[in-house]
Amino acid sequence: MAKKIAILGTGGTIAGVGPAGGAGYTAAQLGVEQLVAQVPALARAAPGGLLLEQVAQVDSKDMTTVLWQRLAQRCLALMGDPQVGGIVVTHGTDTLEETAWVLHELLGQGKPVVLTCAMRPATALAPDGPQNLLDAVTLAAHPLARGVLAVVAGVVHGAREVTKAHPLRLDAFASNDAGPVGWVELGAVRWARVPAGDGTARHAALAARLPDAPWPRVEIVLSHAGADGAVVDWMVAGGVRGIVVAATGNGTLHEALAQALERAQAAGVAVRVATRCPLGRMQAPDGARWRDARGLSPVKARISLMLELMEAARAPGAA
């Protein structure tokens, strides 16, 4: 028997409202029921029915760890419900890749969790949200779909690769070197590579027991011409627990910034190095001074480091 697809609303432009056809709108205005009401074809895409839930209502630039926690815990509960076959999350485009990554790190490769969004508000002359929502439900109901995915403008992206690559166009997301996981075309999923489906999330143990407390403070610092590291000293004085440095090229850093990071590390701050290049994966040389970010972009590396620090705090013997 066909299973239900849960749709969790979190806001974004997909739920945005503005003057018909005009410029300017306010994100996160329509509830998930209103989004679903715009797409009668959802009944066909999810023959087992839909479960609708409003988890948040935000412009995703204002996403918080509290909302991530709420969303992850709702996803976990729904993944454990035998009547639910998959989950769709409607989200803003601006931090979609961050939410995709935090869910990937916490939930892993079980039932599909498909994020979608829109570049135009629901009141636009030709909104893109309804088609994206239909594609997301089609994908979440597909028997081979696993883990955290995103679908935008018909292109399916994996959580590790997905990145917002354009500020305006409808096809705003890219998977860069890895390429898309697949496409949703005319109501059918065409896979470029079928999701593996056997991986456990790195932080699965944390997912059910996320502390009801602020997540450890981790900041991102950019290495650039003229960087002097003063911002690092200031962060350390302010109690930062981790720093991800967006390095030039293959992980190179301005020497003044590197010296500030040495001081931070000596003071107990965890340091990770990611490249600021949008394509490729940096190869840290043997004997590198800092751990590299496992090929993650700086924003995703920041999430992983926050989770690592929380995990370490839970470990037996942790202070």
Work out how close the CB of 117 gets to ligand SIN at its nearest, in angstroms, rounded to a whole number. 5
Q: Is 119 in the site for ligand SIN (CB under 6 A)?
A: yes
* Identity of the residue, 128 or 161, whose beta carbon is nearer to ligand SIN in the bound complex: 128
Residue 35 interacts with ligand SIN (CB under 6 A): yes or no: no
61 touches ligand SIN by CB under 6 A? yes
Cβ contact 119:81 at 8 Å: no
Cβ pair 191, 181 in contact under 8 A:
yes
Return the residues of window 82-111 that contact ligand SIN according to CB under 6 A: 92-94
Listed ranges 5-13, 201-209, 275-283, 293-301: which one lies at the site for ligand SIN (CB under 6 A)? 5-13
CB-wise, 94 or 308, nearer to ligand SIN? 94
Among 115, 117, 152, 306, binds ligand SIN (CB under 6 A): 117
Binding of ligand SIN by 166 (CB under 6 A): no
Q: Which stretch binds ligand SIN (CB under 6 A): 29-37, 57-65, 210-218, 230-238?
A: 57-65
Find the binder of ligand SIN among 27, 107, 152, 305 (CB under 6 A). Answer: 27
Q: Which is nearer to ligand SIN, 12 or 108 (CB)?
A: 12
Does position 130 bind ligand SIN by CB under 6 A?
A: no
∠ Cα 291 296 302 (to 5°)? 75
CA distance 261 to 243: 8
CB nearer to ligand SIN: pick between 241 and 300: 300
Measured in residues, the chain has a length of: 319
* Separation between Cα atoms, residue 30 and residue 121, nearest integer Å: 10
Give me the residue whose beta carbon is nearest to ligand SIN: 92
Which residue lies nearer to ligand SIN by CB, 94 or 292?
Answer: 94
Under the criterion CB under 6 A, does residue 304 sit at the interface with ligand SIN?
no
Please confirm, yes or no, whether 26 is among the known catalytic residues. no
Residues involved in catalysis? 13
The contact set with ligand SIN (CB under 6 A) reads 11-13, 27, 59-61, 92-94, 117, 119
